[in-house]
Amino acid sequence: MSRTGPMHYSELNTMRQCPKKHHYAYVEGLQSKAQALNLKRGLWLHSMLEADALKRGFAHGTLLEVPSEINVPGIDEPVTVLGVDRLLVLHSGTDTVEVELSWKGMLELLEHHTDYALFPDHVIEERYTEGGQDLPTACRNIMRGYLWQYRDVLPKRRPLLVEVEWAKTLTGNHPDVEMEGRADLVEIDERGLVCLVDWKSTKSLPGQEFKLMESQRYLYLWGLTERLAAYNYTVHALAFDYLITSTPTVPKQNKPKKAPKAKSKCSECDGTGEVLPVPEDEEDGENCPACEGQGRRINLPTPNELKGELSVAQVKTTPLVYFETLKELELEITEHHRERLNELGANNDFYQRFNMPVNMKALKTVLSETGSAAGMAEHFRANPDAVYRNVDRSCTYMCDFLPLCMAELYGQDASTIRKRDYEPRHRQAPDGAK
């Protein structure tokens, strides 16, 4: 089967994982009917981040290219960008829906004007959600936590290009390969340094080695070089902006302490506040060490303890969830709480940016290996009998084609599974959402 369009990074990555998976997805053009929640969540978060970046770019006046339309997952027609404040949707061909150009406006579009259910009966089972949250709630909480974490940083990052598509021909020692992709964000900081950013929504944070070895950013850097040069910009750094989708733990509340009796006087000084008995040669006695001269017990419960203080047990949560728990329980924010908030912010487990300076040797290596992988993909496309499987433990959690692959491997009725569980592949999704 001949190629019908340019090659994307997601296709290259699939080819590297398993030629058989590549064949199912990009030669047969199949995808699972039961689209996974994490893929939909990634698409939603990308759209919400895109809207937020566009709004900041409009506010700063730094956008090099102002989009007139953007694509929103689940809406067939492109969404019109009316300006700094508004998005316009042509819904069902005739009806129009207008929302604010912001991540909240984008979430409203996704929640109320797309079908986000996982199943035909429009019911999202709890086991397919994050911590019992439905898809809109999970995305709202993740985005709010992201903005809280970087509330002092994001205003200093000024977007230049947002969700920018590129197309370029890879030439050299390999056959020419038409490549294209969509970069999430190009931004400039207060020092004038330009950074190419890729948003990543993931269940857990990968290790340092994986971050260094991931080649997508270099391919996108190559694809955007001439375009940025036309505006006299050069990329200085590459970055992954990670949004961890695990649900933050809500801190537990201790049981309230009982208030002491009203007449809880110090038993050591009988409530006088002075050492008893008073020496004869002194007019006034010394302060009672038990109550420090207060005349009553000094170990009285604090107002927070009377309501039920937060547990001091260490939990995996975000500063925003911790802060909102304090507010919800109407607890006084003490120095201990401020220290905990600072600790969560500094050692956060949910939002991390990994920066890396551009390395020209790595760029050349990535381009060479991209050509090799593309050549293999074209060879297998032309010779389907040569396609083989990479079978390992990752098949069980990384491949949507496992049932079909197993059926063919063991000589079962694969045609029934193909019709029942799979459908033609939809429009290309952003590579970063994969």
Minimum mean pLDDT among 32-46, 119-133, 182-196, 307-321: which range?
A: 119-133
Q: What is the pTM of this model?
A: 0.81
Query: Amino acid identity, residue 80?
Result: T
Q: How far apart are CA 165 and CA 177, in angstroms?
A: 17
Give pLDDT, residue 433: 44
Residues 6+ apart with CB under 8 A from 277: 285
In terms of pLDDT, which residue wins out, 389 or 113? Answer: 389
Q: Measured in Å, how far apart are the chain's first and last C-alpha atoms? A: 24
Q: pLDDT tens digits, residue range 327-377?
A: 999 999 999 999 999 999 888 889 999 999 999 999 999 999 998 898 899
| Residue 10: alpha-carbon gap to chain centroid | 18
Residue 390 φ/ψ, nearest 5 degrees = -100, 100
The pLDDT, as a whole number, for residue 56 is 94
Q: Tell me the C-alpha distance between 127 and 357, whole Å.
A: 41
Q: Distance between CA 409 and CA 3 in Å, rounded?
A: 26
* Non-local CB neighbours of 338 within 8 Å, separated by 6+ positions: none
pLDDT at 126 over 60: no
Q: What is the rounded CA–CA span in Å between residue 110 and residue 138?
A: 13
CB of 94 closer than 8 Å to CB of 87: no
| pLDDT band per the 50, 70, 90 thresholds, residue 1 | low
pLDDT band, residue 131 (cuts 50/70/90): low
Token digits of residue 114: 């797309």
φ/ψ of 265, rounded to 5, equals -80, 160
Out of 95-104, 250-259, 367-376, 421-430, least confident range? 421-430
**What is the rounded average pLDDT of the residues 92-111?**
88
CB 297 within 8 A of CB 281: no
- State what percent of residues in the chain have pLDDT above 70: 87
- Residue 278's pLDDT band (cuts 50, 70, 90): low
| DSSP-assigned beta bridge partners for residue 185 | 162, 197
Query: So what's the pLDDT on residue 434?
Result: 40
SS3 409: helix
More reliable by pLDDT, 40 or 351: 351
- Rounded Cα distance between 406 and 292, Å, is 77
Beta strands in 235-376 (DSSP E): 237-244, 351-357
Across 89-122, b (16+ Cβ under 10 Å) vs e yields bebeeeeebebebbbebbbbbbbebeebebeeee
Please report the DSSP string for 90-127 in residue order. EETTTEEEEEESSHHHHHHHHHHSS---SSTT----GG
Average pLDDT for the chain: 86
Size (the chain), residues: 434
Where exactly are the structural domains of the chain? 303-349
At which residue do the structure tokens 């991209």 appear?
A: 370
Residue found under tokens 């759209």: 47
Give the DSSP letter of residue 386.
Answer: G
Structure-block tokens of residue 110: 């996704």
Determine the Cα–Cα distance for residues 99 and 102; give it in Å rounded to an integer: 9
d(CA 221, CA 233): 12
pLDDT in tens, 381-398: 999 999 999 998 888 878
Number of other residues whose CB lies within 10 A of the CB of residue 270 = 12
Tokens (6 digits) for 320:
């925003």
| Average pLDDT of the residues in 59-79 | 90
